[in-house]
Amino acid sequence: MFTSNVTAPAPWDRWDSVALALAVFTTLWVFALKLKTFYDLGFSGDLFVSVQAARSWLEGRGLLQDNCFGNVLAIHSYFLLLPLGLIAKPFGAPGLLFVLAASLGTAYFWATRILRLLGVDGPAAIVAAGVLLISPLSVAFYQEAGHGFHVEILVPALCLILFYFLLRRRLIESIVTALAILSVKEDAPIAAAIVAIIAGVETWTSLPEKSARDRFNWPAAITLILSLCAIPVLLAISWLQSPTAYAPHALDCLGLVAPGTLSSPGALFVFVASNVPHWLGSDVVRQWLWVMIMGTFGTILLRPYYLIVGIPTTLVAWLVNRNDLMWAPRFFLAEAALWCITLVGFASIARTASRCSKAKRTALLTIAVGIAVLATCAQLAFVPWFVRGAYLLRSTSLYSAQERQEADALFARYRQEGKPEEPVIASSMLFRYAHDRNLFWLTRLQRRPAPIWILGDSADPYIPFRISADTINADSGLRLENYSLVDHRGRFVLLRKTE
């Protein structure tokens, strides 16, 4: 009854033009929110690590190098950051934030195209795609409060493009898109594999009158094989890198086992296989089940077998064992699967409703809308409170307007007097002022040059990064008597190394 129809011609028409215009608007809206938060000092951490890693090969520092971890490739295979360096080099962090915003606009457009391909008419497709992307779970995922950007956030949009090409059985386009997904990170192939399985299942079940040869989706099968083969290759690439004090191997960062326990990527597969019951019974899987039900607006219950297919999206969160399934670098796998499942569910409901009598259609749509409202309320209760501010273009900055003005006025002096090559450290929420220069991390200065400049916040929300005129993290190895106070305003200080 609720099977898909993947044979719809879906020619380009005016509704696709409307979807494209809305995608551009979505991009601009999200970019405005990201940029506002950036200038409001609302981002720290991984956004600025990503900028340095993306630009390093253009600055003669090698591939995926930064001043926080060092050799990022020893931890994660973030190969997609390399082409993003062409944007990060001239535009810095705002360039990466625009890429993220564009990925959400891209996701909206391709979600609409997928629904059209599945037989949904234009207006319904535009509304359904919008409901999916403005849902609280999606907003929380793209907001990524505190960090602002992770390259993993680009994966769901790429997966929608892959899903579309797989449903159309376009082999070359599918392989190219799959390779882009695989280049994101060592666990990204899980997302590509699950999308391939969903596409293969939907193609098979939508053509019951055809022969097995006609129903079998070869591009989906090839994508699945390619994805499964990529996982050990990507893990091996990272494993072959020399670890450092700040860039240990990814296998040594797992919370379930002590560092050094897993001697190779092969040992990881053995560990997972021998602990499947523990994995399936974990709190991570239980939380994921609830997220999938409310995140798909209940449509996954039309195809409950996808609950089994999607379980691998919890693997990394279970291995890390930090109760952080909803953090974007963990949740991106589930988000990609969730979007594809929701789209085929929406399309199935719309297709079934179009075949019913008026009374049955009204009843079916009323039930569907009611469930969607309940799921949205459940999502709102589940996500952090500050997600709601994103709908109103509110940043997540912890600073008042006056404090931001004080910081801008004080650190403008550093921007004028400091040289780009001079080492600099900053409190965690002040990275913006030095992110496009030789920025180092206060807690990671071992065997690294002493900073010439210090940009401090005496009330930084992250205690190890609090810096005042007379106090600094003792573990940093820095001695404030070697620095002179250039100026201070409110809670902020600017220090320079004494000649």
Percent of the chain scoring above 70 in pLDDT: 98
pLDDT for the residue numbered 2: 57
Cα dist from 252 to 214, 259, 320, 434, whole Å: 46, 4, 10, 31
pLDDT for the residue numbered 71: 94
Sign, CA torsion 330/331/334/339 = negative
pLDDT for the residue numbered 192: 98
Distance CA 149, CA 321 (A): 22
Burial 118-132 (b: 16+ CB within 10 A, else e): bbbebebbbebbbbb
Distance CA 61, CA 421 (A): 13
Distance CA 21, CA 429 (A): 35
pLDDT for the residue numbered 244: 83
Q: Which residues of the chain have pLDDT under 50?
A: none
Q: Do the beta carbons of residue 299 and residue 338 sit within 8 Å?
A: no
Question: Six-digit token pair at 311?
Answer: 């379980």
CA distance from start to end of the chain: 78
